[in-house]
Each structure stands twice: as C-alpha cells, then as structure tokens.
Amino acid sequence: MSSYDALAASYDALTVDVGYRRRADYLARQFRRSAAPVETVLDLACGTGTIACLLAERGYQVVAVDGSEEMLTQAARKAAALERPPLFLHQSMPRLRLGMTVDAAVSTLDALNYLTRTADLKETLRRVCRWLRPGGLFLFDVNTPYKFRRMDGQVYLDETEDSYCVWRTFYAPRQKICTYQVDLFRRTGDGTWDRTFEEHRERSWEREELEAFLKEAGFDDVTVTGDLTSRPPAPEEDRWIFRCRKAVNS
C-alpha cells in the first residue's frame, strides 16, 4: 500500500490545525513579490489538493500532481465547485512530466522529505527546473534534522468523531530516516471500527545538501527561512522554507 492510501479519506479531518489558508497566503505574497509575473503554478505532491484549490481560488492556473490516486480522488471532489479548478495529474515526483512550462512551483508540508534516495531527490529537482520558465520561482518546505531527532520514540494521536489515528515515530540517525508507523481506525456504517496500517518514511536532509542539489539542478538565488517568515532559521527550527529561482541561462 502506498503512503496515504488508507489515510486519504480521513486526511483533511485529521489536519484541520495545519493552517492551509495562512500557508496559501504566504505563497501568494511570494508570487506577488516575484520579479516575473506568476500566473501558472505547479503544486508538487499536492495531497488532497487543499493548497492547490486555495491558489486556484486566488486566480492562479494550477497544475497539481501526486503519486496517490486516493489522495487525488479527494482533491478532485474538493475542486469540483471551483470556477477554474486545478488540473490534477497522477505522477510520482521523480517522474514529473507536465508538457508545459509554469511560472512558479511549490511543494508544501515536507513532501520532499518523502524522497529518501539522493538520486530521486536530484531527479525531482531537475524535473521541476525543466518545467519552470527561466527565472521561475520554486518554493518548498522540509522538516529539519532537528525536528526528526526530537520526534524519535514519540507517539502522536489525532482523532475526529469518525476516525482515530496513532502515529509512532522512530528516527535512525545513521540512515537519516524517520519512520512513521500509522494505525488508523475508522467508524463504519454499522457502528464498528475498521483498522488499517501504513508505514511512512522521511529522509532528513541537511541544509547544505539541499542548497548544493538545487544549484546542480539549475537553480540560483537560494534563500532559506524559518516557516512562513522572512527571518533566517533558528537552530531549533522544525521546518525550513527554501526559495529559489530557475537560472535564466539554465
């Protein structure tokens, strides 16, 4: 089973505290500050499409891709009422193929941490650069090494009226891999509970590694900040935001 296949139907209810509108507002502010106008946007690993839909509501033409068919099913339902819904594509990140260029690309909520192989991350960055217009903006966030170390051995609970989710986290510092073991209980129509299990793996990437990979892929003007701020990241930062541009001569 792929990551988030079982969680797809319950994902939105379990993540109401994420602050999607605030994150979409932040992205839109960065687009407005861009030297080149932003009209078309790629949402990479869009999940259930919340960010993609919020950007579409703000007038952007959005192409959104994800590797989970179940998450995209939820995204399509969410977008059905929009006047200009995003175009949803079922693709893995290292196999990104748009067939069109975009003005900007975003990837939110640590999607790139799910790329645990260096080759897959490098190929993803190369492909994002390929489909960006010269000077195009790329914004993404990652969970930090500090956060992964802090999460080792922790148990997290999320619940709604019809679902109960238990996350157990284990961090292996030598491999730089954080494993999430997820038990999801969902209430069925007859009042009983159905249990499913998923295992997620995220890679801890150092800031210097990501900066080097971005430059190798064809990006320049790389800036790193704390989450949803313009300040440099603090030592104990849970999430970094990377902001860069496709080199004009790339």
CA dist 59 and 81 (Å) reads 14
Residues 28 and 113 occupy one common structural domain: yes
Q: For residues 115 and 93, is the Cβ–Cβ distance under 8 A?
A: yes
Is 174 contained in some domain? yes
Which residue(s) pair with 159 in the sheet?
164
Kindly indicate the confidence band of residue 48, based on its pLDDT and cuts at 50, 70 and 90. Answer: very high
pLDDT computed for residue 1 by the predictor: 41
What pLDDT, in 10s, does the model give residues 167-210?
999 999 999 999 999 999 988 888 899 999 999 999 999 999 99
> Which CATH number do you get for residue 93?
3.40.50.150
Residues 139 and 155 occupy one common structural domain: no
Ranges of beta strands (E only) in 45-92 are 61-66, 87-90
Is 3 contained in some domain? no
Residue 227: C-alpha distances to residues 23, 64, 68, 232 (Å)? 9, 22, 26, 10
Answer whether residue 12 shows pLDDT above 70.
no
Percent of the chain past pLDDT 70, that is, above it, reads 94
pLDDT computed for residue 47 by the predictor: 93
What pLDDT, in 10s, does the model give residues 218-240?
999 999 999 999 999 999 999 99
CA dist 122 and 120 (Å) reads 6
Residues 84 and 22 occupy one common structural domain: yes
Range of 222's domain? 8-143+205-246
Residues 58 and 180 occupy one common structural domain: no
Answer whether residue 43 shows pLDDT above 90.
yes
Least confident of 9-23, 58-72, 88-102, 194-208: 9-23
Kindly indicate the confidence band of residue 135, based on its pLDDT and cuts at 50, 70 and 90. Answer: very high
What pLDDT, in 10s, does the model give residues 80-110?
999 999 999 999 999 999 999 999 999 999 9
Residues 14 and 75 occupy one common structural domain: yes
Residues 56 and 69 occupy one common structural domain: yes
Structure tokens that stand for 175 in this block: 């491999």
Residues 14 and 53 occupy one common structural domain: yes
Q: In the block, which residue shows the tokens 């703000």?
A: 58
Got the DSSP string for 182-193?
EEEEEE-TTS-E
pLDDT computed for residue 250 by the predictor: 64
Residue 194: count other Cβ atoms within 10 Å of its Cβ.
Answer: 11
pLDDT computed for residue 168 by the predictor: 97
Residues 17 and 124 occupy one common structural domain: yes
* Number of domains within the chain: 2
pLDDT computed for residue 29 by the predictor: 97
> Which CATH number do you get for residue 168?
2.20.25.110
Is 156 contained in some domain? yes
Mean pLDDT score of the chain: 94
Residues 79 and 192 occupy one common structural domain: no
Residues 180 and 67 occupy one common structural domain: no
Residues 107 and 217 occupy one common structural domain: yes
Residues 93 and 190 occupy one common structural domain: no
